[in-house]
Chain A
């Protein structure tokens, strides 16, 4: 059980990164980005091709995929989000759906439906930490997630630009008065969310293993569930929501091994999302 919980914690931390991206864009632009996880999946394919087929070092391939994600995120913001500033938010949400469909379609046509493999960057034996085996990758992943979360928290709390991005969610007029161009804040949020997506996809890859379009389709659902449970308007909520979903799913899977009912973790997460929306629409950690 403890082993399952640690694995759940590691994966949950990565869900948190995806969920943070969702919340970031939701607070910044009032939009749900349905392509938040798929962007990372897409760039993960690119990283795999660079590293495995073109023999790039892992770090170079990973960095290239992050830069690509940044470019796509910023380009999408410039092309689709910014021109639709005054459009109903549902229109922009459908635009992100189109981006999602485009990414999925490109993955299938360009990279093929066959799974690809990528060796994790750090190899080595798992370490026994008080009775639980943890792989070096998992330790690195946990450390990186904690680092990113801490850096983001500090950024949004202590820097003027970070504060103003959060302020933009409340009042776009106020942001204009603060002298920070709305355009820059908007571009920044989408770029940052894209980078988070690419990093999280690289981190979660060793746990999922094979890289194929369908293998990663469930991640967005987990991340979105995390954001909804934690609260769409709260970055802290997104983070804790990710951990709750990761640990919860692992615990349920562990507890129900051998039952004939398929997909119990998914059913429980769905139930948790619906219950949250009914009884606490702002999420567990969101302010009303």
Chain B
């Protein structure tokens, strides 16, 4: 009930904003021509299109963590393509915006495919060279700019020659587009798209373990950004009426980066406000007019060194209070499978996971050598061994994070050639020794992230927040609520994971993975950071999950008594090789092994 009222109120809000955008500027221009002259409207139009460009870069940099230094070229392409549509083909300007945006997206896709396969700053490098190349070559081609004089881009209201609109009305339309882009941006953040972007920004490995196809989502972010940039360029060109390649160079690209960094990386209001301010600055009295870019650059430099998250981020961080209770024994009883939601698909094979002849080498070092193991469905299998035995490497190889030789079969499906996110999607859920969560995100967001493989709706449905997306999201939100309630975590649901204690983080990670109903649960030292009582309670809970729900678990653990108590079968790993294996009774009869390799902890 409350959600429908809220969404109803939100759509009224949007209608009011749109109405204000459409009516206010022309009305002001007519009633008070001094207040909103053509020149002022033009300045504001520049600010608004710069704002859309800033939102575009913000989506890429602030959400997905990828930097583009050639954004001006994407704007330029949008503007020139719009000019071809409107000036040459005599189409209305909306066609120019649409095709300009499309062109920006296509070019972004073409650059992104080679550049985004590599991690790190490569997109920044390629877009930088791309931007300079476009300005020096393609944008100067006769086809676009008629030599150096530039291409005309009339504000054509409708088909035909003489129906042009004036500056204040054009400003209204740009504002409407800004609101539209803003809404799409909001939709990105409340669907799986935004969650995937933010997870990638924090850590690509973690994102993959959540089943996120990192390359695809980075590409998607860049394409969306390219579309927005193309539209911004078309709007900007229409404001001036003339498009020249000189405007879409290095200075503009830099300006957009500065705007996002000053306004706050990952925020919306900040970059838009700074965009408008920077557009107005040259019309102000001298100190601002002359030094606007100098001031902006200096503030940026100061910001990065002193407040790396940007101004808006700084404000938000000041508000957040640190918190972090220890793990409560009761909480552990609340960890549950997502059986109620019907997400789980139970295994078909009796041998759920079969690993054969697996080896991992780093340089000349054999980290894992010819290891074979089997996890029968419905059992808990333990892996023990001294530090550096290769246990975590074995886990990484099974889940696909390090390259290995040998075969891995999950529920009858060979997966050793699959990428990590595909293995996760097939029901291989795991935790990490150093906790695989997006730590800047809230507990709720992390659980939703883990549910990523179940967020099945199209990208277009996500961007428009269509019914399909809303329906799935509300189901996922319900599951997340159940998980949070199960952990008695209500008051910390919206707290960034970073602020929780280590044990609590581990608990959230475990609960998030379990919420996806994985066929196989792989746990890397789940009791680290827990009190002895909590560790015992966790073991009890894991045993219950096996006994009551048939959950299969592969477990790395240092706590040998716990392993012998809980596991059905145990493998002992030493120096990358299997040293021994057997049921817990059989292993208990080999004290010399436990003694020699595990420091006699068995007697403890």
Contacts and interface: CB of A to CB of B under 8 A. Distances in A.
Given A101-B300, A104-B251, A109 B132 contact: no
Nearest to A213: B251
Contacts of A4: none
Interface in B240-272: 249-251, 254-255, 257-258, 261
A200 B124 CA distance: 24
Given A94-B67, A104-B254, A109-B291, A266 B297 contact: no
Contacts of A218: 132, 136
B98 interface: no
Contacts, number: 130
B125 to A, nearest CB: 6
B257 A263 contact: no
Interface size of A as a range: 35 or more
Given A97-B69, A109-B290, A263-B136, A87 B308 contact: yes
Interface stretch (B113-121, B408-416, B447-455): B113-121
A108 B293 contact: yes
A241 to B, nearest CB: 13
Interface stretch (B137-145, B341-349, B418-426, B578-586): B137-145
Interface in A196-239: 214, 217-218, 221, 224-225, 228
Contacts of A267: 133, 137-138
B293 A224 contact: no
Nearest to A271: B133
A273 interface: yes
Contacts of A228: 125, 129
A122 interface: no
Chain A to chain B: the 6 pairs with minimum beta-carbon distance, closest first? A263-B137, A105-B293, A102-B297, A101-B297, A98-B301, A98-B300
Interface string A9-48: 0000000000000000000000010100000000000000
Given A95-B301, A100-B254, A266 B132 contact: yes
Which applies to chain B's interface (DSSP): helix, strand, loop or mixed?
Answer: helix
A262 B140 contact: yes
Nearest to A38: B250
Contacts of A99: 297, 301
Given A217-B250, A269-B129, A274-B126, A98 B304 contact: yes
A217 B257 CA distance: 17
Interface size of B as a range: 35 or more
A243 B108 CA distance: 30
A93 interface: yes
Contacts of B603: none
Given A97-B69, A98-B258, A102-B301, A221 B129 contact: yes
B130 interface: yes
B589 interface: no
A79 interface: yes
A276 B140 CA distance: 26
B128 interface: yes
B293 A104 contact: yes
A270 B111 CA distance: 11
11 contacts: A94-B300, A100-B254, A101-B296, A102-B301, A104-B250, A109-B294, A218-B136, A221-B132, A228-B125, A270-B130, A273-B126
B305 interface: yes
B298 interface: yes
Contact of B118 (A91, A94, A277): A277
Given A102-B294, A224-B125, A260-B142, A94 B257 contact: yes
Given A32-B121, A90-B67, A270-B129, A83 B140 contact: no
A93 B304 CA distance: 10
B490 to A, nearest CB: 33
